[in-house]
Amino acid sequence: MTAKLAPEKFEHAATAEYEGILYALAFDESAHTAYAAGDDRALYAVDVGAAEPKLTKVAAHHDNYVSAIALRGEVVISAGYDGRILWTRAAGGEQLRDVAAHDGWIRDLTLLADDSQLASVGHDLCVRLWDAETGALLRVFEGHAATTPQGYVSAIYALAASPDGRYLASGDRVGEVRVWEIETGKLAATLASPAFYTYDASKRVRSIGGIRSLCFSPDGKQLAIAGIGQVTNVDGFVGPCRIELWDWAAGKRTFTGQDSHKAVLNHIAFDAGGEWLIAAGGGDSGGLLAFWDPSQEKPQHKAKPKGHIQRFHLDQSAGALYLAGHGGLQVWRTPPS
Amino acid sequence: MQSRTMPTRTSCRATEHDLHRRTFLRSAVAGTTAALTFGGLAVGRESPQAARLRAKQKQVLFIWLAGGASQFEMWDPKPGRPTGGPFRAIPTSVCGTHFGELMPKTAKIADRLAVVRSLNTQITAHAIAADLISTGRPKEAALEYPEIGVVLAKQLARRDAELPDYVSIFLSSEGHRRPAVGFLGGRHAPLHLRDSLRPSYIDPPAGLDTQRHTEREHLRQLVSSQFARGRAGAEMVDGYNAAFSRVRGLMRSDHLFDLDREPSAMRERYGDTQFGRNCLLARRMLEAGVPMVKVARGFWDSHHDNFESHRELVTDFDHVFTTLIRDLEDRGLLDSTLVVVFSEFGRTPKINKDVGRDHYAAAWSCALAGCGIRGGVVHGKTDADGVSVADGEVDAADFAATVYSAVGIDPEEHYYVGPRPVPLAREDSHPIKTVLS
């Protein structure tokens, strides 16, 4: 039975240190091993149960930053800014498959519910669906605008698959979410969340923001969105961290969470019971790990991890959170009761 | 006998340099009686060098990337290095020269460009660094130097021109700068466009039609000539007449500021971004004969999310800049127009925790094209991680000397401010010969 989440009890336990920024994270619960990758292009394994966890290099097959990874059995599937999706055997690091997947950076990757299919998004403004075993391209979903309203290049940053494996959601730079029906390829919903995109027309004449993370609720009815609210200085993440919750089928926003902590939230996830929304990121106010009860605007609990967090994994049964970002992989735990 | 000049302020309130007709007149008249000399000649008078330059009709365009553009994401990529970031290097039209992948169009015109990868200007505070690179020397308490663009405007100015000698376009507010006239005085203040692409205050007063405006001008000329006849001070009246002539010229040139007069295909070619519109106006100004034009594109200060911001900014720059260069070339203007792309500094090799790059002046880049420039050249190099200059180090004074030299101005020429000789570029500067044709 999964323990009830106690956000206020999480404490930093250890850090597996890394020189740069880790962008990608996946977790093998059976082996208590996290897989992480980032700007040095290599894939690492981390024994998160170790008293002093360390990053152990598994492979280095990408030619550029690794942005997302997913674990399919004993195979790590990774996507990178080199536009490739790679299949790598977790034990030994053998490269099993290499697919030129997108024209430009791949920003996110997710396995669908039964692990038979895989989806990816990138700077080429499309969602691609793959056979997770063979790497065959199954479908392409297109429709996100290539440019922002001001005429600059846009991108898709975030991707999520519904728990029932029927839908994919993709979020772009200007705050638009598109929900796609996987079987038909049809657009099921379009959600506009422009508060996640700031364009400064007078001071700096450029933009910042975008939808940086998406996740469906455990029942698949709600879609959570994370990023940063309106930014006062687009030179940085100088705006309130922000999440939204949508009844996506009805096209209705049901909750907005925003806090004065100035940060972009790069990752959002529900806890196992669907009671909490957990989000992490960083910015002008420093790193942030925030827990929202989606009945209140402000997060019920905030913690300040060291550094700017890009991804996390909640291992609820173990009462642990693994945070990947600047400086390495942090292990946070709740003390045994 | 040389006379002295009063120090001129360089810091101004927001509205002080807007082109108000009365302000313009006062400045212009003051300029004709300025107490500076250039190479032994009063600066208000013609120097032989200036006459030669005017005959050749050389022009200059500065593209000012305000806030500090990243050399790693543009001119000096370091792919695969810890400092390099995620953008690849791409080959250019010059064998062996690579630019950042965000500049595929610029890469195709690399043979027209000279890139300097070895600037070390040391200063990493925006305003001070901008002063340094804009004047070619550090600030002095005793003397306010004019910016390079102001000197160029003065030297390249055309006699009896109807348009200003210098048009500066800076429509965003962060890091906003008005080109400092320094000791050259208000006569050389540029027409500075900060709120829109059309100058303020050039419409006749409400209720004054063209005929009445012309009649007033005839009356003013009559009174002026009667006043000047047989009296000392005719030079001042000449100054007034010149200033009035400029204002009238500007009013008659109102159409130049109207981009709708460009064919729609040309507007589309530049693109519907602010930088695109600004550069299209710059080309119209150059084509109309304005000797010095500056376009500022802010704001590149990417302390967080550097790669996303440069993806937006450099992509826009790449398109607009190459369109502009090709347009100037198509119109036969590139050979006589020096184009300079620069910032106050570059950005750090280290990528910070917020995926940003901070200010860095120890090793950064600029680019030049057109008049006096040898295309397809890279001067200097940085070390493997772009941390320091490995070869061909140049500073702000060398940059200034290079710009002057490219348009045929001897950087060793000097003004006199009172008895003090002030060379155009600092005494110890050296033009970067590699990039000069």
Of A81, A148, A236, the CB nearest to B356: A236
Instruction: List chain A residues with CB under 8 Å of B271.
Output: 151
Interface mutation target, options B269, B304, B351, chain A, most CBs of A under 10 Å: B304
Asked if A306 has any chain B CB less than 8 Å from its own CB, the reply is no
Residues B318 and B105 sit within 8 Å (Cβ to Cβ): yes
Q: What does the mean pLDDT of chain A come to?
A: 96
> Hey, are the CB atoms on A151 and B273 less than 8 Å from each other?
yes
Per the CB < 8 A criterion, the answer to whether A87 and A95 are in contact is: yes
In terms of CA atoms, which chain A residue is nearest residue B273? Answer: A151
Query: Distance from first CA to last CA of chain B, Å, rounded?
Result: 39
Q: Which residues lie closer than 8 Å to B54 by C-beta, 6 or more apart? A: B156, B157, B158, B159
Output the DSSP codes for B88-105. PEEE-SSTT-EEETT-HH
Nearest-CB residue to A151 (from B86, B271, B353): B271
Alpha-carbon Rg for chain A in angstroms: 18
For B145-152, what is the mean pLDDT?
97
Pairing mode, if any, of strands B292-298 and B59-66?
Answer: parallel
Q: Give me the residue from B276, B299, B308 closest to A204, CB to CB.
A: B299
- Give the integer Cα–Cα distance in Å for B286 and B308: 33
Mean pLDDT, range A193-206, rounded to an integer: 96
- CB-CB neighbors (< 8 A) of A208 in chain B: 304-305, 308-309
Q: Which residue among B82, B86, B309 places its CB closest to the CB of A206?
A: B309
Please tell me whether residue A233 adopts helix, strand or coil conformation: strand
Count of CB atoms situated within 10 Å of the CB of B231: 10
- Cβ distance A151 to B356 less than 8 Å, yes or no, reads no
Shortest alpha-carbon distance between residue A305 and chain B (Å): 12
Contact A152 B171 (CB under 8 A): no
Per the CB < 8 A criterion, the answer to whether B62 and B293 are in contact is yes
DSSP per residue, B246-297: HHHHHHHTGGGG-GGGS-HHHHHHH-SSHHHHHHHHHHHHHHHT-SEEEEEE
Task: Give the pLDDT confidence score for residue B399 in this predicted structure.
Answer: 98
Longest dimension (CA), chain A: 55
Distance in angstroms (rounded) separating the CA atoms of residues B293 and B153: 9
Which pLDDT score, from 0 to 100, does residue B246 have?
A: 73
Quick: pLDDT tens for B67-97: 999 999 999 999 999 999 999 999 999 999 9
Q: Of the candidates A20, A151, A308, which has its C-beta nearest B272's C-beta?
A: A151
Instruction: Quote the minimal CA–CA distance from A153 to chain B in Å.
Output: 6
> Does the pLDDT at position B29 exceed 90?
no
Tell me the pLDDT band of B52, cut-offs 50, 70 and 90.
Answer: low
CB of A45 closer than 8 Å to CB of A90: yes
Measured between CB atoms, does A282 come within 8 Å of chain B?
yes
User: Residue B76 and residue B364: Cα distance in Å, rounded?
Assistant: 8
Q: Three-state DSSP class for A102?
A: coil
- Are A203 and B173 an interchain contact pair (Cβ–Cβ within 8 Å)? yes
pLDDT at residue B1, rounded to an integer: 31
Whether the predicted pLDDT of B6 surpasses 70: no
pLDDT at B12 over 60: no
Q: Any CB–CB contact under 8 A between A308 and chain B? A: yes
Whether A261 has its CB under 8 Å from any CB of chain B: the answer is: no
For residues A272 and A216, the answer to whether their CB atoms sit within 8 Å is no
**Contact between B386 and B360 (Cβ < 8 Å):** no
pLDDT tens for each residue of A117-170: 999 999 999 999 999 999 999 999 999 999 999 999 999 999 999 999 999 999
Q: State mean pLDDT over B114-121.
A: 98
Give the pLDDT confidence score for residue B239 in this predicted structure: 65
Task: Return d(Cα B370, Cα B114) in angstroms, integer.
Answer: 9
Site from A235, A309, A323 to mutate, B interface, most B CB atoms within 10 angstroms: A235
Q: What is the 3-state secondary structure (H, E, C) of A256-320?
A: EEEEEEECEEEEEEECCCCCCEEEEEECCCCCEEEEECCCCCCCCEEECCCCCEEEEEEEHHHCE
- A237/B315 touch (CB, cutoff 8 Å), yes or no: no
Report CB contact under 8 Å: A203, B86. no
A chain contacts of residue B194, beta-carbon cutoff 8 Å:
none
Are B312 and A235 in contact (CB < 8 Å)?
no
A281 to chain B, minimum CA–CA distance in Å? 9
Cis peptide preceding B87, ω within 30 of 0: no
Among A206, A231, A262, A264, the residue to mutate for chain B (most B Cβ within 10 A) = A206
Q: Is A224 on the interface with B (CB under 8 A)?
A: no
Mean pLDDT of B98-117: 98
**B101, B305, B351: best to mutate for the A interface, most A CBs within 10 A:** B305
Q: Tell me how far CA of residue B367 lies from CA of A257, B63, B69, B75, B402, in angstroms.
A: 46, 10, 12, 8, 12
- Banded model confidence at residue A330, pLDDT cuts 50, 70, 90: very high
Cβ separation B351–A307 shorter than 8 A: no
* Mean pLDDT computed over every residue of chain B: 87
In percent, the amount of chain A with pLDDT more than 70 equals 99
**Residue B249 token pair:** 């010229």
Q: How confident is the model at residue B229 (pLDDT cuts 50, 70, 90)?
A: confident
How do residues B341-360 score in pLDDT, each as one tens digit? 999 999 999 999 999 999 99
Q: What pTM did the predictor assign?
A: 0.90
Residue range B183-196: average pLDDT?
Answer: 90
A211 touches chain B (CB under 8 A): no
- Is B186 within 8 Å of B27 (Cβ atoms)? yes
Question: What 3-state class would DSSP assign to A324?
Answer: strand
- Spell out which residues of chain A touch residue B359, defining contact as CB-CB under 8 Å: none
Structure-block tokens of residue B397: 């004074």
> What pLDDT, on the 0 to 100 scale, is given for residue A261?
97
Question: How far away is chain B from the Cα of A80, in angstroms, using its nearest Cα?
Answer: 10
**CA separation for the pair B365, B375 (Å, rounded):** 16
At residue B216 the predicted structure's pLDDT band, cuts being 50, 70 and 90, is confident
Least confident window among A19-23, A55-59, A278-282, B172-176: B172-176
> What residue in A sits closest to B270 (Cα-Cα)?
A151
Q: Look at residue A69 in the predicted model and tell me its pLDDT.
A: 98
Interface contact flag, B353 A236, Cβ < 8 Å: no
Q: State the pLDDT confidence band at A28, using cuts at 50, 70 and 90.
A: very high
Task: Choose the mutation target among B70, B316, B354, B359 for the interface with A, i.e. most A CBs under 10 Å.
Answer: B354
pLDDT at B264 over 60: yes
Q: Hey, are the CB atoms on B298 and A327 less than 8 Å from each other? A: no
Residue type, position B26, single letter: R
Say whether pLDDT at B230 is over 80: no
Mean pLDDT for A230-238 is: 96
SS3 A230: coil
Residue with tokens 């299919």: A117
- Residues of chain B contacting A151 with CB distance shorter than 8 Å: 271-273, 276, 316
Tokens in use for B374? 């040898």
Q: Does A284 touch chain B (CB under 8 A)?
A: yes
For residue B308, the chain A residues in CB contact (below 8 A) are 155, 173, 208, 210
Instruction: Mark residue A223 as left, alpha or beta (left: phi above 0; alpha: psi -120 to 50; beta: remaining).
Output: beta
